[in-house]
Amino acid sequence: MDRDLEAAFRHVEELLFGGPSRPGLTLYDLQRLVGYPAKGKEPYVHTLPALPGVQAVRLYYYPEDPELELIVEIVDREGKQHLRHFRWNGVTWETPKGKKGELKATAVPQGPLRVGEDYFLGFAPEEAVALEAALRRGEALGLKYLLCPRCRTRIFYAYSVNLQGLACPTCGNPTLLFKTLAGEERKDPLEALAEEQRRLRLALEELLAYLKRKLGP
């Protein structure tokens, strides 16, 4: 686990919720920090003084959104964003329903995670789910993955992952192929079906035309 990232999260936690030496940040404090309403337009953002081992820590304020008023952004040393969401409930900061508010470094599981028909290595579960959805929408072109030539299992991996000694999580085959996601890789099943039907109809029309020519009207 990244120590500096953990420390940055602890720093933000103390800032928001207070610690032994100081009270927590109120909505009013946040508004003053980001220059609301004096600044007059978004983004209302405040960058905290530099912390060791992370690139930036920023607080974003959204005055228009009653459900989500504060986003904490921590950019780690690799440039990866960690976002946490909060809402002011009149007394303290709470996490809006369905959002991520836990002030801890994102835990990345060691082994490959299965989402849908594919595996994801080196991604947090929510990232893997988002990636899988992007794959299904055909929006993840250029993404790198390993393909098992034996069982066609795909393993998408993060840049930081050490792939040495990795075997197929489905069949155990240790010889995996490096691939890059191209356009035609895997279509939406419905789209594939429609295309198949178009092809069949065309073949049928050609056959009918051929028969007409051969047999006469």
Contact residues for Zn ion, defined by CB under 5 A:
148, 150-151, 153, 168, 170-171, 173
Tokens of 88: 């002011």
C-beta of 165: minimal distance to Zn ion in Å?
15
In angstroms, give the least distance from the CB of 179 to Zn ion.
14
Asked if residues 86 and 97 have their Cβ atoms less than 8 Å apart, the reply is no
Instruction: Write the CA distances from 217 to 35, 156, 202, 210, 212, integer angstroms.
Output: 82, 57, 20, 11, 6
Question: Of 5 and 168, which CB lies nearer to Zn ion in the complex structure?
Answer: 168
Which residue lies nearer to Zn ion by CB, 48 or 181?
181
In terms of CB distance, is 92 or 173 closer to Zn ion? Answer: 173
- CB of 168 vs Zn ion, minimal distance in Å: 3
Choose between 171 and 204: whose C-beta lies nearer to Zn ion.
Answer: 171
201-to-59, 195, 204, 205, 207 alpha-carbon distances in Å:
58, 10, 5, 6, 10
Nearer to Zn ion, 106 or 153 (CB): 153
Least separation in angstroms between residue 30's CB and Zn ion is: 51
Q: Which two tokens stand for residue 176?
A: 């995996």
Task: Please report how close the Cβ of residue 36 comes to Zn ion at its closest, in angstroms.
Answer: 54
122 vs 108: CA distance, rounded Å: 6
96-132: burial string, b at 16+ Cβ within 10 Å, e else: beeeebebebbebeeebbebeebbbbbbbeebbeebb
